[in-house]
Amino acid sequence: MPTSDPRAQGQDALHRVRALLPTAPVTRFAPAPTGWLHLGHLVNAVWVWGIARAVGGRVLLRIEDHDGTRCRPEYVAGVHEDLDWLGLEPDDVVAPQSAREDAYRAGLDRLRSLGLAFGCRCSRREIAALAGDAPDLETPYPGTCRALGLPLGAGLGVRIRVEPGAERFDDLRLGREEQDPAVQCGDLLARDRGGHWTYQYCVVVDDRDQGVDLVIRGVDLLSSTGRQLRLARMLDRPVPPRFLHHPLIRHPGGTKLSKANRDTGLRDLRAAGHAPAALLGQAAALSGLLDRPRPLPAGELASLFTG
Ligand SMILES: [Zn+2]
């Protein structure tokens, strides 16, 4: 179980990173440009840069714009501007997802040749309807189109076969975890009926191709880990990345922070006169790495983990 002591939390995480990743890791900061960066992103950045700098690792900046319908160029520019203002410098800026169509197609060709991909004509609504009285829960795909032999062509979704079986992994903060993707989500959607690649599929192909071996992200994505490990092996990555899931910050009411919460937008906070070091310190405190906020320049983030 993770500790609630701020100093120990950072040191425990660093200890596990060092134990399980003997060479300097490659991690990534990977926002979706569907809005401006907010405090939730900043929490993630504090963990990503802090750990990377503490162990001599590298931070890749990856723009996750796989969903072309919701992304906007001004948000991409905003990511670069905000990171620059904060003093958070990536070691490399890798290709955005919108430029990686060929890689996603090649991955799908491989899965198809292995008999692991099939066409799916189900709509999101049809699958959600199966959830009945519990629409908030994730509905596993029931396998409707598995045996229909539908093509992987236009107008149809593409799913990857997910057979039953546990995925076990050591989360670098939470410890031992076990998930069965067949129970959680069933056959994974790689491309939807509109031709858009999905988040789950893109990140696995990207992390493989870009050599990311340490994924540091919020605990809201913990349930995605098993399926991403499974998919990584299908995509010829026998040693998948290690994962660290950090706490999320929440509003007093308990709701998750999102882009809809305008009060936490970095642009608004900056306009209100907050300094970069003050915001980084606030993010560190909100995610349990400091007892209370204090100014923390980007160059000192490693100290949250080295003690
Ligand atoms: Zn289907």
Residue 239 or 137, more confident: 239
Tell how far the Cα of 125 is from the centroid of ligand 1, in angstroms: 11
The answer to whether the beta carbons of residues 156 and 121 sit under 8 Å apart is yes
296 forms beta bridges with: none
Please give the pLDDT value at position 131. Answer: 63
Tell me how far the alpha carbon of residue 59 is from its chain's centroid: 14
43 against 21, higher pLDDT? 43
Whole-number Å distance, alpha carbon 13 to ligand 1 midpoint, is 41
- In angstroms, the CA 290 to CA 208 distance is 33
- Taking the centre of ligand 1 as the mean of its atom positions, its distance from the CA of residue 122, in whole angstroms, is 4
CA 116 / ligand 1 centre spacing (Å): 14
Percent of the chain whose pLDDT exceeds 70:
92
Tell me what pLDDT residue 153 has.
83
Q: How far is the CA of 218 from the centre of ligand 1 (A)?
A: 30
Which DSSP state fits 152? S
Cα–Cα dist 155/248, whole Å = 37
- Tell me, what's the pLDDT at 26? 98
Residue 111 · residue 234 · CB < 8 Å: yes
What is the 199 CA–ligand 1 centroid distance (Å)? Answer: 18
- The reported pLDDT for the residue numbered 304 is 95
Domains of the chain, earliest start first: 6-306 (3.40.50.620)
Question: What separation in Å is there between the alpha carbon of 196 and the centre of ligand 1?
Answer: 16
Mean pLDDT, the chain, integer: 91
Residues 32-73 have pLDDT tens digits of 999 999 999 999 999 999 999 999 999 999 999 998 888 999
Q: Write down the pLDDT at residue 252.
A: 52
Of 246, 243, 248, nearest to 228 by C-alpha is: 243
Q: How far away, in angstroms, is 152 Cα from ligand 1 center?
A: 12
Q: What is the pLDDT, as a whole number, of residue 132? A: 65
Instruction: Compute the distance from residue 38 Cα to the ligand 1 centre, in Å.
Output: 36
pLDDT tens for residues 103-140?
A: 999 999 999 999 999 999 998 888 777 766 655 567 88
Residue 280 sits at φ, ψ, to 5 deg, of -65, -40
Torsion of CA 113, 117, 215, 166, to 10 degrees: -110
Looking at the predicted structure, is the pLDDT value of residue 4 above 80?
A: no
pLDDT at 257: 55
| Strand 26-29 relative to strand 58-61, pairing | parallel
- The alpha carbon of 155 and the centre of ligand 1 are apart by a number of angstroms equal to 12
